[in-house]
């Protein structure tokens, strides 16, 4: 059922738009993790 939904999106919106949306959603979690890591490093540096 999920693949049918993706196929409908591709048909209605176009492949580049669906691919961009998919990549943005996937990368959002990684960017949040990277942001948390950088913040943690900054806090560790300030403690020293």
Q: Would you give the DSSP letter of residue 14?
A: -
Domain count, the chain: 1
Q: Would you give the DSSP letter of residue 21?
A: H
Q: What is the pLDDT of residue 31?
A: 92
Confidence of residue 42 (pLDDT cuts 50, 70, 90): very high
Our CA dihedral for 25, 28, 30, 36, rounded to 10 degrees, sits at -160
Whether pLDDT at 45 is above 90: yes
Whether pLDDT at 1 is above 80: no
Q: What is the pLDDT of residues 18-28, one digit of tens each?
A: 788 888 888 99
pTM of the model: 0.53
Better pLDDT: 17 or 31: 31
| Residue range(s) defining the domain that contains residue 10 | 2-47
Q: What is the pLDDT of residue 2?
A: 63
Residue with token string 């990684």? 30
* Residue 17 C-alpha from the chain's centroid: 14
């Amino acid at each position: 059922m999920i693949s049918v939904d993706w196929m409908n999106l591709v048909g209605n919106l176009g492949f580049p738009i669906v691919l961009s949306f998919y990549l943005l959603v996937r990368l959002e979690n990684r960017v949040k993790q990277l942001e948390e890591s950088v913040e943690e490093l900054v806090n560790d540096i300030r403690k020293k």
